[in-house]
């Protein structure tokens, strides 16, 4: 069995943003009993012993945890490469300096667009100015900077200007990743899925920018898998390379796997080693024995591992079916239908986005986007 290389630590699901493609679970009320500092430190130690070398600190918004600096320092002591994935709203000079002193290796900041009005509208809160200030601060403190941009129907035509902004900020890398349709993004799929013309335009811009910026800025571009012929090799295979720990200590093969009807595994009851090696959850879709046709006999079964289990569940109700994104899937028509609708709707103007609603302390607040 392979050892995991990377662990995504979702420290909290609290977040100041209301992005319409939020990937966090819908039922945030189930995640209030967050792991303590000492519990996280134990998880980090067990992760390193298991083979994890990269720690991605995410959420929600990881800066909402006041012990973030302490956790980074512990991770560095263990020899983990630490990567902060943040909205950066709370990245004040004081906290940035604290994280630098703790040994944080790399910062990834999300931006929603290249200009304030659209960016703030997508984020559901005024945030653009603080994000840009934080990006400059990251560079001043001599950290490597990655910008993360989730692409969708409302911002994909601005990719050129987003790349210009990244260049101006001195970003070392930019990830332009089209939305994945789970959780809250699933509710907004019609409003988010771009048209083929939009994708073609963005790809041409990305190709030209890659050439122009070679050796200066790395550009990662991820198309929406609805438009690909084959599914994505989700997480590099179920329980093969990565694991996710949720704010309350649940351990998952991928961050969306909480949606599946599978036995749970938590660090509050078991060691990370047991969960990785023995738990029914991590065994369920490991390897190729579980595969149905057409995956079972497919040459690509060790390339894309049957695609994404969560997407198969989302689109067919059965997590053990072939990912319907694959053109060989017997269920492919459900994806083809969504793509057809997105292209017929190409000229009907912008559909409404439903901003993410977050529950805090039992109070639910509806927000609307102007």
Partner 1 sequence: MSVAVLSTNRPRLARQVRLQWDPVRERQVLLEPEGVLVLNQTGATILGLCDGERTVVEIVEELRGRYNHVAGDEVRDFLTRLVAKRLVELGDG
Residues at the site binding partner 1, with contacts judged by CB under 8 A? 3, 5-6, 48-51, 53-54, 79, 81, 83, 105-106, 108, 142, 144, 146, 172-173, 214-215, 218
Contacts of 220 (CB under 8 A, 6+ apart): 173, 174, 175, 176, 177
| Token pair for 71 | 């956790």
Nearer to partner 1, 115 or 172 (CB): 172
The full length of the chain comes to: 370
Residue 121: CB minimum distance to partner 1, A: 29
The full DSSP string for 183-206 is: HHHHHTHHHHPPPHHHHHHHHHHH
Residue 271: CB minimum distance to partner 1, A: 15
Residue 2: CB minimum distance to partner 1, A: 11
Nearer to partner 1, 2 or 337 (CB): 2
Residue 6: CB minimum distance to partner 1, A: 8
Nearer to partner 1, 24 or 83 (CB): 83
| Token pair for 184 | 């809250």
Q: Report d(CA 280, CA 298) in Å as an integer.
A: 25
Per DSSP, the three-state class of 265 is: coil
Identify whether the C-beta of residue 283 lies closer than 8 Å to the C-beta of residue 239.
yes
Nearer to partner 1, 49 or 168 (CB): 49
User: Which run of H or of E encompasses 6?
Assistant: strand 6-10
Residue 297: CB minimum distance to partner 1, A: 31
Q: Of 130, 206, 128, 135, which Cα lies nearest the Cα of 166?
A: 135
| Token pair for 83 | 């990567």
Q: Of 60, 66, 68, 56, which Cα lies nearest the Cα of 28?
A: 60
Residue 79: CB minimum distance to partner 1, A: 6
Nearer to partner 1, 153 or 232 (CB): 232
Nearer to partner 1, 32 or 241 (CB): 241
């Amino acid at each position: 069995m392979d050892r995991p290389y990377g662990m995504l630590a979702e420290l909290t699901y609290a977040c100041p943003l209301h992005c319409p493609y939020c990937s966090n679970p819908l039922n945030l009320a189930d995640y209030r009993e967050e792991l303590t500092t000492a519990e996280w430190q134990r998880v980090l130690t067990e992760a390193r012993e298991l083979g994890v070398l990269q720690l991605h600190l995410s959420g929600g918004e990881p800066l909402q945890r006041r012990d973030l600096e302490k956790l980074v320092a512990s991770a560095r002591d263990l020899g983990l490469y630490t990567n902060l994935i943040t909205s950066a709203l709370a990245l004040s000079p004081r906290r940035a300096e604290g994280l630098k002193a703790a040994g944080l290796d790399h910062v990834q900041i999300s931006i929603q667009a290249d200009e304030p009005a659209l960016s703030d509208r997508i984020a559901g809160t005024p945030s653009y100015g603080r994000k840009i200030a934080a990006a400059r601060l990251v560079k001043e403190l001599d950290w490597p900077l990655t910008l993360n941009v989730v692409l969708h129907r409302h911002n994909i035509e601005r990719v050129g200007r987003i790349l210009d902004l990244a260049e101006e900020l001195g970003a070392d890398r930019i990830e332009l990743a089209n939305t994945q349709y789970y959780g809250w993004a699933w509710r907004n799929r019609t409003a988010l899925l771009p048209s083929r013309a939009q994708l073609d335009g963005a790809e041409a811009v990305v190709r030209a920018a890659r050439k122009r910026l070679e050796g200066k800025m790395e550009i990662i571009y991820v198309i929406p898998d609805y438009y690909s012929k084959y599914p994505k090799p989700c997480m590099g295979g179920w329980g093969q390379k990565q694991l996710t720990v949720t704010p309350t200590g649940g351990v998952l093969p991928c961050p969306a796997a909480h949606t599946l009807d599978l036995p749970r595994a938590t660090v509050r009851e078991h060691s990370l080693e047991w969960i990785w090696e023995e738990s029914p959850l991590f065994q369920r879709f490991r390897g190729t024995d579980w595969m149905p046709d057409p995956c079972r006999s497919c040459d690509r079964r060790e390339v894309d591992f049957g695609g994404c289990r969560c997407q198969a569940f989302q689109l067919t109700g059965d997590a053990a079916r072939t990912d319907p994104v694959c053109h060989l899937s017997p269920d492919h028509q459900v994806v083809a239908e969504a793509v057809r609708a997105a292209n017929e709707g190409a000229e009907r103007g912008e559909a409404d986005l439903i901003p993410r609603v977050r529950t805090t302390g039992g109070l639910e607040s509806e927000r609307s986007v102007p």
